[in-house]
Amino acid sequence: MTTVDQAGSWPAGARAAAGDAVTDVATDVVGDAAPAVPGEGATPGTRGRRPSRLLGIRTEVPASWRIGFGVIGVLAILALWFWSSQGDSALIATPSESWSAFTQMVGDGTFQTDLWASAQRVLIGYGISMVIGIVLGIATGTFAAVDAFFEPMIGFLRYIPAPALIPLFLLLLGIDESPKIWLIVVGTAFYNVLMTADVARAVPREMINASYTLGAGRWRILRRVILPHSVPGIIDVARINLAAAWSMLVVAELLAAQSGLGYQLIRSQRFRAIDAMFAILIAFGVIGLLSDVLLRQVRNRVAPWSRP
Amino acid sequence: MVPPVSATGTDPTPTLADVLRPGTPKLVVDDVTKVFAGRKQTTTALEHVDLHVDQGELVCLLGASGCGKSTLLSIVAGLETATEGMVTVDGDRVVGPGADRGMVFQAYSLFPWKSVARNIAFGLETAGWPKARRQERVDELLGIMGLTTFADALPKELSGGMRQRVAIARALAPEPDMLLLDEPFGALDAETKRHMQDFLLSLWHRTGTTILMVTHDIEEAIYLSQRIYVLAARPGRVAAEIAIPFGGARGPNTKRDPRFLDLRDELADLLAT
Ligand SMILES: Nc1ncnc2c1ncn2[C@@H]1O[C@H](COP(=O)(O)OP(=O)(O)OP(=O)(O)O)[C@@H](O)[C@H]1O
Ligand SMILES: [Mg+2]
């Protein structure tokens, strides 16, 4: 409404206020009155601020630019790496050294073994964490009583740094697989719960009310409305917190493990195999990137309705 | 027993709605007060509201924004509880929502992940209709709503008017005793709105469903309803009850009827005060 108002009254007011200045310039050109009438001699100017092509707030840039920027970003970090590996210091492996270390690890099969050992832990631990996150998160986001029960508890627990539990876990659970898996669970479950609760809270009230007036009971609404509506959000939560799961895994493997990529890292450090260390670090990034892309695909496949 | 046909029966062929209309109150709102206790202030959204809707009647609640129309409809639906007073349907006290009172909401409340057909079928699934009957009912409603070719479309692929038709079809599907409509055409353009109004009227004639509809559009209220309750704001209360003398027959001429114009002025005055 204000735009209509402005369109109607602004030009007149602005013209009156700026009248002198306008006539000064315009008379030179036309040599007569009626300077502000558009299309009558006076060269039309421009109105408004031209939007920035490159850094417009929340405006898309062309797809080719997007790809270009992405490539530049990757090249920049590679260049930085390459440049810093050129110095005297032997502590930074060059890209080519890292690549050959990688191919060697793949060649003798250690990479696959360690990757599988780590992935297994993440899959189990993060799987458990997601189940906890979905069940408790949906319940927390749906029922105020459950929310009241968990809120202070989780608020307290999630500030205990998960790695601080490793000594306890090692005592309680031994040094085989379970302490690593439970560290992943503990390190990610609280965030999965809290974030899934927000996803469940985002189900519009009117959608729930509509379901009630269609005769649905609470259980039905939970299963048939809140859960399906939350699916894409839950997949996004899983995608975001997966990085934390890998962090927890590596912490556990650095401290106590006989296999896994984290264990391989600490071994490389012991043997000063800097190139292998770099290969593993980059492998982490690539694994994360791939799972991110994969989960986005899953989200779009499972919930095409939520795509913008 | 057939109740006597309404005296305003200008419609030559009495419909089910006409036959069922007089006498029996279907819905009674009895001295309802609703107070919202906020952190800083308490809002009396409704104060001592009394009204009723007869079997098969179409009644509009008319009032300015914020006068408690949606709140009242939610209380009738059982989605909100009255602070004082009560609501009865066929003499039964309303204590919560149920499939007997279908509702269409102000904003879109369709399930975005379900196709049009699956949206309409939701209430039928809840009511445990067997698949074959469900399919039949959905097809019937798709036909009535002119949505047959969009049966498999997602809500986001529909226009505003079509979405609202799906919402109405979904509410109608399980054959509720009563339909509660909260500004169902508020977000539509004039042309679509007119189309939807006629559509609602023909639907009402065909099904004889009791309808309580909220609107802030004076002409819409006169055009559609048998009676109008005008609500006044702060606190929300019934300011007037107006009977509309056109019977069940409405058409393009209704809006040119001098009585229509008089009613429009009268209601405009009532709303302005
Ligand atoms: N949940 C709530 N908490 C507090 N106040 C509320 C709540 N719901 C409604 N109100 C207040 O009650 C009053 C009536 O609201 P309501 O939504 O019923 O109005 P309305 O007549 O439907 O308005 P509109 O035509 O804009 O939809 C308003 O003053 C509103 O601020
Ligand atoms: Mg409202």
The radius of gyration of chain A from alpha carbons, rounded to an integer in Å, stands at 30
Q: What is the pLDDT of residues B158-214, one digit of tens each?
A: 988 889 889 989 998 988 989 999 998 887 788 878 888 888 888 888 888 899 999
Ligand lying nearest the CA atom of residue B63 = 1
Helix, strand and coil in chain A, % to nearest 5? 75, 0, 25
Residue A222 contacts B, CB cutoff 8 Å: no
Contact A216 B126 (CB under 8 A): yes
Q: How buried is B249 (Cβ within 10 angstroms: 0-12 exposed, 13-18 middle, 19+ buried)? A: middle
Higher-confidence residue of A235 and B26: namely A235
> What per-residue confidence (pLDDT) applies to B178?
92
Domains, chain A, ordered by start: 1-50 (no CATH), 94-306 (1.10.3720.10)
User: Do B183 and B109 meet the contact criterion of CB atoms below 8 Å apart?
Assistant: no
- Of B266, B207, B257, the closest CA to residue B62 belongs to B266
Task: Tell me if B36 CB under 6 Å of ligand 1.
Answer: yes
Ligand lying nearest the CA atom of residue B182 = 2
Q: Which of B74, B79, B109 minimises the CB distance to A204?
A: B109
Contact A305 B154 (CB under 8 A): yes
Task: Tell me if B71 CB under 6 Å of ligand 1.
Answer: yes
What do you get for the CA distance between the two ends of chain B, in Å? 44
The rounded percent of chain A whose pLDDT value lies above 90 is 60
CA angle, A78 as apex, A115 and A272 as ends, to 5°? 55
Smallest CA separation from ligand 1 atom 16, residue: B68
Residue A222 DSSP label:
I
How many of the other CB atoms lie within 10 Å of CB of B230? 23
Mutation probe of ligand 1 site: the residue of B42, B69, B72 with most atoms within 8 A of C-beta: B69
C-alpha A130/C-alpha A230 separation (Å) is 13
Q: Which of A209, A225, A228 minimises the CB distance to B79?
A: A209
| DSSP characters over B88-145 | EETTEEP-S--TTEEEE-SS----TTS-HHHHHHHHHHHTT--HHHHHHHHHHHHHHH
Tell me if residue B47 falls in helix, strand or coil.
strand
The B-side interface with A (CB below 8 A) comprises 74, 77-79, 96-99, 101-103, 105-113, 122-123, 126-127, 154-156, 167, 170-171, 174, 180
> What per-residue confidence (pLDDT) applies to B115?
94
Task: Tell me if B69 CB under 6 Å of ligand 1.
Answer: yes
A-B contacts (CB, under 8 Å): 72
Contact A224 B122 (CB under 8 A): yes
The mean per-residue pLDDT over the stretch B109-129 comes to 94
Least confident residue range of A3-12, A33-42, A69-78: A3-12
* CB under 5 Å of ion ligand 2: residues: B 70
Q: How buried is A39 (Cβ within 10 angstroms: 0-12 exposed, 13-18 middle, 19+ buried)? A: exposed
pLDDT band at B9 (very low <50, low <70, confident <90, very high): very low
The C-alpha of B138 sits at a distance from chain A's nearest C-alpha, in angstroms, of: 15
B175: closest chain A residue by CA: A214
The rounded percent of chain B whose pLDDT value lies above 70 is 91
Contact A216 B78 (CB under 8 A): no
> What per-residue confidence (pLDDT) applies to B5?
41
